[in-house]
Structure 1
Amino acid sequence: MRAGGRRVQVGGPRQRTVLATLLLNADRVVSVDALAETVWGARPPSTSRTQVAICVSALRKAFRASGADEVIETVAPGYVLRSGGHRLDTLDFDELVALARAAARQGRGAEAVRLYGSALALRRGPVLANVTGTVPEHLSCQWEETLLTAYEEQVELRLALGEHRLLVAGLAAAVERHPLRDRLYGLLIIAQYRSGHRAAALETFARLRRRSVDELGLEPGMELRRLHERILRDEDRPAVERPPSQLPAATQVFVGRAEELAVLDRLAAEDGQAGAPPLGLLVGGVGVGKTALAVRWAHANADLFPDGQLFVDLGGHDPHHPPSAPGAVLAHLLHALGVPPERVPVAAERPALFRTAMAARRMLLVLDDARDAAQVWPLLPNTATCRVLVTSRDPLRELVARSGAVPLRLGGLGFDESVALVRGIIGEARAGRDPDALVGLVELVELCGRVPGALLAAAAHLASKPHWGVPRMVRELNRPRSRLSGLGGQHLRDGLASSARCLDPVAADLYRALGGLPTPELTSWTATALLGCSTPEADDVLERLVDAHLLEPAGAGAGGESHYRLPSLSHAYAAELATTGP
């Protein structure tokens, strides 16, 4: 006990018993006779009233020495301990449990679990330790029962939230401490069964039955027997028996990215720091192959994540739909982890439940096409046993700073890799049919900017037209203003449009103006002239285009001015904008 920030020094057994009785009856008058009976039992000595007064006087002195006056008042026919301005564990416990039960009735399960946890955390050891007497012993038993009931109510809520795997060990220990408590046994059996341990659940019931029959001569209660029968019939099977495996199919024709794959391998081998999972962040423009790389690596390393692989398309740059809200994504993830839809809590409580459900699991979470760091942050587990892979067109600098995510910026493929990708779609014979095929392939991959998405679109277009040669495809693509149409590029155009719409007005005006230039090459002086501003201001705008993957840095000239280049597809879309407007 503490008062005024200092520990209250309580004397011998009688003082502790009197104080405990007053505390357990805070704000209620306890008669001197009741205090005497608590200390000495049914036959107190003739001096008991005087000795109780001496104990109370000593307690008042101890409180004053700790800076707390007027804690115990004399009120006929005895004394009252005033709780005003003080905190008592018993009163705090009752208040927290009442709030937890109200939250549970209103369907706010995760909040109720948290409130129960706060109440149970108030216990710091055996109830009424070092307090003797018949009445304290009776009160101790009452409080043990109250604490156990609160624990059982919390466990029932956690089972409903799908946390069965996390509860088995604690319930097994509780059953050992309270071997004749049927409700605890029932909760343990449910947790074992829902965790996929049907045989263990049946053995737990058998152990309970033996103990109950041997020690009490009674069969287990009807509720437990019905639970046993349901398990024998394998009813109430857990919603998720196999680990989730949500990865989409990997791209069959995949080339290059050896360096990036090696970095992801190293990241997977690292230990998470401070309870956070290592994050890989794949950043790049439309069609550059971020998702293909993430899925390829995830499939190749699925054995590292025996508890499952989760995949979510966040739709951060979908031109037809708004980005997925974190709350909706968490509902999907919780359902994948075994939480029934009707048990998914309100949006504000979902991040905590998701982190709890991911704890101690070895899982991979792939978050594809993130809009910004705010969309990703609530979706991150807090366990080093998980790994997270994020793809985005945005650099997500805030995520890098807060979580230590390792960014990998993806550009176009190498020349040989680009040619190999096209050959893998149209075949060696088709690629070599024309004497000018190699020259045509060289020009084709450059017109596609060596971007995997564009290369695949061009190769698929060729594959669908067996009467076309490579030179014919090159002619179709050789007009910047029709290049995206030649690629059948609604997906590419939509992606570029989405990136362009995210630009601020000044950067958008510059991008449109660059589409009217005869060459994709430019310097910061060009931007200065087009914008009518200073060179530093123009450099800032150009860098915003670089961050949007609509412009590439190309070194510096002899005079120190910065050089840039519009990638092939970005140039094609800018040319469309220059002609038609946004």
Structure 2
Amino acid sequence: MTGKLEFLLLGPLEVAARGRKVQVGGPRQRTVLATLLLNADRVVSVDALAETMWGARPPSTSRTQVAICVSALRKAFRACGVVDEVIETVAPGYVLRPGGHRLDTLDFEELVDLARAAARQGRGEEAVRLYDSALALRRGPVLANVTGAVPEHMSAQLEENLLTVYEEQVELRLALGEHRSLVAGLVAAVEQYPLRDRLHGLLITAQYRSGYRAAALETFARLRRRSVEELGLEPGAELRRLHERILRDEERPAVGRPPAQLPAVTQAFVGRTEELAVLDRLAAADGQVGVPPLGLLVGGVGVGKTVLAVRWAHCHTALFPDGQLFVDLRGHDPHHPPADPATVLAHLLHALGVPPGQVPVPAERPTLFRTVMAARRMLLVLDDARDAAQVWPLLPNTATCQVLVTSRNPLRELVARSGTVPLRLGSLGRDDAVALVRGIVGEARAARDPDAVTELVELCGRVPGALLAAAAHLASKPHWGVPRMVHELNRPRRRLSGLGGCGQRLRDGLASSASRLDPVAADLYRALGGLPTPELTSWTAEALLGCPAPEADDVLERLVDAHLLEPAGSGADGETRYRLPSLSHAYAAELATTGP
């Protein structure tokens, strides 16, 4: 079996395998390895490696010595059980292939990209956690044990990237009101980078918001003295403006245009004409005093609740000139706990222009939020709510604002308290489902096998999430015909895996719903996965549970509430029939095979 290496650049250069450090030789081997890692998947010529080690006048034996270094590195990797050629000989030099191995700089870039995406979408706390994970990869001065022109240049670049990411995280934490906990770390950072305006601005802001106005002014004075003495320059214009606001004791977070926090709208959208019309009527209705128009979109995994809410919201931004707010409540996120309403309110208040230092204690935040929203015309989208208790504190009390809530749960308590009528989303119509697939895989490709396309959409239960996953998987494999994809999905136990990477997200969603079932309902759901057909009656549940009909009906209805089962009409004898939707059937079949 091929071993896996870990290449660590964000600190002294190290290589590890199975948790143990790999000895990669002396300074020259480290220089060669670092240069190849910093140019991963790109050919580095022997001459360039020689120049990195010896400068413009390498010795006559330089090419031989480079080859010896590469040979020693290959030998060290093979000793760790790595059978593939990590460093390949490719004219006019060598190329390092990191595929299958870990490179901490790539991990860092991926985490930072995720953090920036979360920040753009208003998920500040999640972004801070991702930034934390990225910055935790640093083990000390970058490439401190490596010499050479290329590594030194690239280590400076990596240090700059790390510092920029730290500054981005600090800005987010300031927005979340964490100014007091930031001061000490920023003081140390400013000592290390004494002429960096952005760092000084962050420290000055943190000091001022923590009540240390004199310290903030002194920080600016020290920077100005040093900048003038060493560079002959005044601090930058933005820092000077911050200093002036503090002198006037009026520094506040920058509030520009109204918040526009809606995620990007997907182009892959079809149908939902009736649902969009319902939301239009809700927006046009005369609001009651003290009650915001409230739309509740309810449905199972992958039916497109968030997509519909965001689509409608983008089409009607003109109705909400004071802005649009979006919050992911993470009610069914298998990887993170549900969002705490008090924390969400702090984020919303800041987005509405309340300085973090003026956000009150949690018990007082709902009142301030309602006060701030009272004079505005805004839209608030609360995505993936877990229960009414999570939503109720976040509702404004004015008819000039509108709220859209999405959830997998029926939220009966919210319905009872607000009087709203839930809008239940199910699968798409067949024509819309076919149009969604054709739009992604292409008209010509779909037209070659129209019957297979129809079978494909039925295997996906006409659920938008599954249809998009299947179509995306097909689009990534142009050599496949649609019948090949149908074959992949035809067995329930392999249906979710047949959807490719997007299928795992659907499986996670189904697993999250199933994990919230009580033990009796969970046992029945697993047992239904072992049945040869997704159709059943309450008599089937009675037989599987060994209990009377009323109790079996109650358990079936709990599965219906979780969107893992759906009513399918009545039989000739009047008995209610049920059906496992395609994705739910696929996950139940997996559970029946693997056990709880």
Q: Could you state the TM-score of these two structures normalised by the residue count of structure 2?
A: 0.58
Give the match for residue 492 of structure 2.
480
The residue type paired with residue 495 of structure 1 is G
Query: 1:575 aligned to 2:579?
Result: no
Q: Which of 425, 434, 439 pairs up with 2:451? A: 439
Tell me how far 1:274 sits from its aligned partner. Answer: 2.8
2:246 and 2:394 map into 1 onto residues whose CA distance is 35
Give the match for residue 470 of structure 1.
482
Q: 1:149-548 residue pairs with structure 2 within 5 A?
A: 236=251, 239-433=254-448, 437-488=449-500, 489-548=503-562
The residue type paired with residue 462 of structure 1 is L
Tell me how far 1:536 sits from its aligned partner. Answer: 1.3
Tell me how far 1:339 sits from its aligned partner. Answer: 1.1
Contact 2:535/2:578 (8 A) holds in 1:
yes
Aligned pairs, number: 355
Tell me how far 1:499 sits from its aligned partner. Answer: 0.5
1:243 and 1:345 map into 2 onto residues whose CA distance is 22
Query: 1:553 aligned to 2:553?
Result: no
Structure-2 change in CA distance of 1:346 and 1:458 (3 Å): same
Instruction: Give a deviation string over 1:286-335, Cα, whole Å, max 9, x none.
Output: 00000000000000000000000000000000001110010111011011
**Any unmatched runs of 5+ in structure 1?**
1-161, 163-228
Instruction: Give a deviation string over 1:58-91, Cα, whole Å, max 9, x none.
Output: xxxxxxxxxxxxxxxxxxxxxxxxxxxxxxxxxx
Contact 1:278/1:404 (8 A) holds in 2:
no
Counterpart of 2:422 in 1: which secondary structure? strand
Instruction: Give a deviation string over 1:6-51, Cα, whole Å, max 9, x none.
Output: xxxxxxxxxxxxxxxxxxxxxxxxxxxxxxxxxxxxxxxxxxxxxx
2:527 and 2:439 map into 1 onto residues whose CA distance is 37
Contact 1:359/1:382 (8 A) holds in 2:
yes
Tell me how far 1:236 sits from its aligned partner. Answer: 4.4
The residue type paired with residue 483 of structure 1 is R
Tell me how far 1:241 sits from its aligned partner. Answer: 2.0
Tell me how far 1:471 sits from its aligned partner. Answer: 0.2
Contact 2:252/2:355 (8 A) holds in 1:
no
Structure-2 change in CA distance of 1:268 and 1:231 (3 Å): farther
The residue type paired with residue 457 of structure 2 is V
1:385 and 1:432 map into 2 onto residues whose CA distance is 48
The residue type paired with residue 426 of structure 1 is V
Counterpart of 1:281 in 2: which secondary structure? strand
Tell me how far 1:406 sits from its aligned partner. Answer: 2.5
Instruction: Give a deviation string over 1:189-240, Cα, whole Å, max 9, x none.
Output: xxxxxxxxxxxxxxxxxxxxxxxxxxxxxxxxxxxxxxxx969999847621
Q: 1:131-142 residue pairs with structure 2 within 5 A?
A: none
Structure-2 change in CA distance of 1:300 and 1:232 (3 Å): farther
1:232 and 1:422 map into 2 onto residues whose CA distance is 60
2:253 and 2:318 map into 1 onto residues whose CA distance is 23
1:395 and 1:256 map into 2 onto residues whose CA distance is 23
Tell me how far 1:403 sits from its aligned partner. Answer: 1.0
The residue type paired with residue 533 of structure 1 is C
The residue type paired with residue 352 of structure 2 is L
1:234 and 1:304 map into 2 onto residues whose CA distance is 36
Contact 1:239/1:340 (8 A) holds in 2:
no
**Any unmatched runs of 5+ in structure 2?**
1-176, 178-243
Structure-2 change in CA distance of 1:237 and 1:509 (3 Å): closer
Counterpart of 1:365 in 2: which secondary structure? strand
Counting aligned pairs with the same residue, the percent is: 86
Counterpart of 1:406 in 2: which secondary structure? coil
2:348 and 2:420 map into 1 onto residues whose CA distance is 21
1:235 and 1:347 map into 2 onto residues whose CA distance is 25
Structure-2 change in CA distance of 1:234 and 1:253 (3 Å): farther
1:541 and 1:303 map into 2 onto residues whose CA distance is 45
Structure-2 change in CA distance of 1:446 and 1:351 (3 Å): same
1:251 and 1:572 map into 2 onto residues whose CA distance is 26
Structure 1 runs, 4 residues or longer, greater than 3 Å off: 229-238
Structure-2 change in CA distance of 1:251 and 1:539 (3 Å): same
Q: 1:60-209 residue pairs with structure 2 within 5 A?
A: none
Contact 2:253/2:355 (8 A) holds in 1:
no
Tell me how far 1:373 sits from its aligned partner. Answer: 0.4
Structure-2 change in CA distance of 1:231 and 1:253 (3 Å): same
Contact 2:259/2:324 (8 A) holds in 1:
yes
The residue type paired with residue 562 of structure 1 is T
Structure-2 change in CA distance of 1:242 and 1:528 (3 Å): same
Tell me how far 1:479 sits from its aligned partner. Answer: 1.0
User: What root-mean-square deviation, in Å, do the aligned CA atoms of Structure 1 and Structure 2 show?
Assistant: 2.2
The residue type paired with residue 502 of structure 1 is R
Instruction: Give a deviation string over 1:144-172, Cα, whole Å, max 9, x none.
Output: xxxxxxxxxxxxxxxxxx9xxxxxxxxxx
The residue type paired with residue 535 of structure 2 is E
1:545 and 1:429 map into 2 onto residues whose CA distance is 40
1:268 and 1:321 map into 2 onto residues whose CA distance is 32
Counterpart of 2:578 in 1: which secondary structure? strand
Tell me how far 1:261 sits from its aligned partner. Answer: 0.4
Tell me how far 1:251 sits from its aligned partner. Answer: 1.1
1:464 and 1:472 map into 2 onto residues whose CA distance is 13
1:288 and 1:494 map into 2 onto residues whose CA distance is 15
Tell me how far 1:405 sits from its aligned partner. Answer: 2.1
Contact 1:481/1:572 (8 A) holds in 2:
yes
1:303 and 1:537 map into 2 onto residues whose CA distance is 51
Q: Could you state the TM-score of these two structures normalised by the residue count of structure 1?
A: 0.59
2:536 and 2:564 map into 1 onto residues whose CA distance is 13
Tell me how far 1:431 sits from its aligned partner. Answer: 0.9
